[in-house]
A and B are shown apart, each in its own frame.
Chain A
């Protein structure tokens, strides 16, 4: 046993160049699997946060008729009181305040911030500045500034933050009861923006808010085109990324197998000489396994380093993959060793 292990390590040292190529290939397989599963897990997480796919729209202007603006705004106002969320960039306020101003309408936040009866009647809006996104935002209420917890900020539509590049931004969280008042001075483009950025979730859809919204804009100067992009990303991963990944992995595994077989052929004559001298199959097995086990242990270590020594799903996936590779190679060895007749092997080989 000790001798078999020692011989195994000697073989490994003798074929160290092949070993490193092997290791590199195996690590490559692992890294590819890691990033693919990372993308998938991240995407699935995203979906579980949203609980289901969001309803989103692209708008296409169909006429320049602005006469129905106030009508539309009133209806949209009533609607966004019931559900859904949106935001738009206000040209008017931006020029008034001197800072980029985003107006946010969100039924959930609305209930949270304008919760008491008096407030919902008298407060038109709460204004936040983007001091440090992702941190606590300072609110400038009329007239007293108050604090809003960071948990509430996460409830803002992510897309708002994505679209902001300036550090100094004013976010106006509109009291939807007064949306029509705020929109009096707007141009058509802001309605366009509002509709373009609207998002409904599954609950809104269930409550009929989505259907209502679609009905409002049916006869207007805008046409709605429903699209679901978070869903699309998952589809893209499953449909294009995964087959590509699978192809690369299969190619690498084939390369690994070819290399393994060529190594095995090199060693097989020596194994046969040992078998003739009285080696048991087990001794040969142990000897040969040293190479593959070292390979896999090193690879697992490399993966752990890349993974920050975390025992998460990705580590699990990699471990299972490596275990599979290990068993395939061991099986290959078993089949070859068990089947061949010692005396035949000696003929016709170097």
Chain B
């Protein structure tokens, strides 16, 4: 089933100014339920930019974006907020955690706005996710005191907590040592397969990837090519 499609996507930062930067040019791409997809490209090629647009965080672009057949440009702010909450789970390159808050307080955030889980179920749901990611012991610690690997797992837990359809992962393992990185990647990919999640994994390093993805796009000079 077609989940989302982007057609002729172009992105220009600081349009019509001296620092105008063309990042993406006429990229087309589609995603079906259960797809596991890898996007690779050099640093600065626009991978994060692409993910921001896909995750409905950036509204300023040219091109057609449809989710389940609906044009994104026609959705209002509330509908976009609901989609962000129910459909996407995002793990950012630098995790983007609330630093002065505990791991628990970080992971719970999507549940505040969720209709999938009731207020009473929240605690249980967080324990459950924390257990699968082996972070149940650090839930009450402040995020700023955690190690890189722990922070990352907190970010992943937050992305998974509301049971999203699509996982957007922006170099989720860049800050980790190779062994741990591989462990985590394997975990996410097998988790995705098991729960029929759609996964978009952004990375610049395709050497160590486990061979479970079904599509691999490459971003080169603003163009997206299937490889």
Interface residues of A (CB under 8 A from B): 3-4, 7, 14, 269-270, 273-281, 283, 341-344, 346, 350
Give the docked Cα–Cα distance between A129 and B47 (Å): 98
Q: Please give me the residue from chain A that is nearest to B159 by CB atom.
A: A277
Question: Which of these, A270, A279, A342, A343, contacts B113 with CB under 8 Å?
Answer: A279
Q: Do A3 and B112 have beta carbons less than 8 Å apart? A: yes
Q: Do B90 and A276 have beta carbons less than 8 Å apart? A: yes
Q: Do A277 and B85 have beta carbons less than 8 Å apart? A: yes
Interface residues on B, range: 20 to 34
Q: CB-CB contacts of B67-107 with A at 8 A, as 1s and 0s?
A: 00000000001100111111000101000111111000000
Q: Do B58 and A281 have beta carbons less than 8 Å apart? A: no
Question: Which of these, B57, B77, B78, B112, contacts A7 with CB under 8 Å?
Answer: B112
Known: A274-B109, A277-B109, A278-B114. A342 touches B58 (CB 8 A): yes
Interface residues of B (CB under 8 A from A): 52, 55, 57-60, 77-78, 81-86, 90, 92, 96-101, 109-110, 112-114, 158, 162
Residues of chain B lying within 8 A (CB to CB) of residue A14: 100
Q: Do B110 and A277 have beta carbons less than 8 Å apart? A: yes
Give the docked Cα–Cα distance between A273 and B209 (Å): 29
Q: Do B109 and A343 have beta carbons less than 8 Å apart? A: no
Question: Which of these, B52, B59, B84, contacts A277 with CB under 8 Å?
Answer: B84
Give the docked Cα–Cα distance between A4 and B90 (Å): 22
Q: Please give me the residue from chain B that is nearest to A349 by CB atom.
A: B96
Q: Do B96 and A278 have beta carbons less than 8 Å apart? A: no
Residues of chain B lying within 8 A (CB to CB) of residue A343: 52, 57-58
Question: Which of these, A3, A283, A346, contacts B96 with CB under 8 Å?
Answer: A346
Give the docked Cα–Cα distance between A344 and B84 (Å): 16
Q: Is the interface of A mostly helix, strand, loop or mixed?
A: helix
Question: Which of these, B59, B78, B84, B100, contacts A276 with CB under 8 Å?
Answer: B84
Chain A min CB distance to B187 (Å): 22
17 contacts between A and B (CB under 8 A): A3-B113, A7-B112, A274-B113, A276-B90, A277-B84, A277-B85, A277-B112, A278-B82, A278-B84, A278-B85, A279-B81, A279-B85, A279-B113, A281-B81, A343-B52, A344-B58, A346-B92
Q: Please give me the residue from chain B that is nearest to A3 by CB atom.
A: B112
Question: Which of these, B55, B83, B110, B113, contacts A283 with CB under 8 Å?
Answer: B113
Give the docked Cα–Cα distance between A14 and B101 (Å): 10
> Told that A277-B110, A278-B86 touch, could you supply 15 new A-B pairs with CB distance under 8 A?
A270-B98, A270-B101, A273-B109, A275-B81, A275-B84, A276-B55, A276-B90, A276-B96, A277-B84, A277-B112, A277-B162, A278-B113, A341-B58, A342-B57, A343-B57
Q: Do B158 and A277 have beta carbons less than 8 Å apart? A: yes
Chain A min CB distance to B74 (Å): 18
Q: Which 8 A-B pairs have the closest CB atoms?
A: A278-B85, A343-B52, A343-B57, A277-B110, A278-B113, A343-B58, A3-B112, A278-B84
Chain A min CB distance to B96 (Å): 6
Chain B min CB distance to A123 (Å): 87
Q: Do B98 and A278 have beta carbons less than 8 Å apart? A: no
Q: Please give me the residue from chain B that is nearest to A287 by CB atom.
A: B112
Question: Which of these, B77, B101, B162, contacts A281 with CB under 8 Å?
Answer: B77
Residues of chain B lying within 8 A (CB to CB) of residue A3: 112-113
Residues of chain B lying within 8 A (CB to CB) of residue A342: 57-58
Q: Do B113 and A277 have beta carbons less than 8 Å apart? A: yes
Chain B min CB distance to A204 (Å): 71
Give the docked Cα–Cα distance between A119 and B97 (Å): 96
Residues of chain A lying within 8 A (CB to CB) of residue B113: 3, 274, 277-280, 283
Known: A273-B96, A341-B60. A280 touches B77 (CB 8 A): yes
Residues of chain A lying within 8 A (CB to CB) of residue B98: 269-270, 273
Chain A min CB distance to B176 (Å): 20
Give the docked Cα–Cα distance between A275 and B98 (Å): 13
Q: Do A274 and B112 have beta carbons less than 8 Å apart? A: yes
Q: Please give me the residue from chain A that is nearest to B52 by CB atom.
A: A343
Residues of chain A lying within 8 A (CB to CB) of residue B162: 277-278
Q: Do A278 and B58 have beta carbons less than 8 Å apart? A: no
Residues of chain B lying within 8 A (CB to CB) of residue A278: 81-86, 110, 113-114, 162
Residues of chain B lying within 8 A (CB to CB) of residue A341: 57-60
Q: Please give me the residue from chain A that is nearest to B59 by CB atom.
A: A341
Give the docked Cα–Cα distance between A281 and B98 (Å): 18
Q: Please give me the residue from chain B that is nearest to A282 by CB atom.
A: B78
Chain B min CB distance to A147 (Å): 76
Q: Please give me the residue from chain B that is nearest to A14 by CB atom.
A: B100
Residues of chain A lying within 8 A (CB to CB) of residue B57: 276, 341-343
Residues of chain B lying within 8 A (CB to CB) of residue A346: 92, 96
Chain B min CB distance to A290 (Å): 15
Give the docked Cα–Cα distance between A37 and B99 (Å): 46
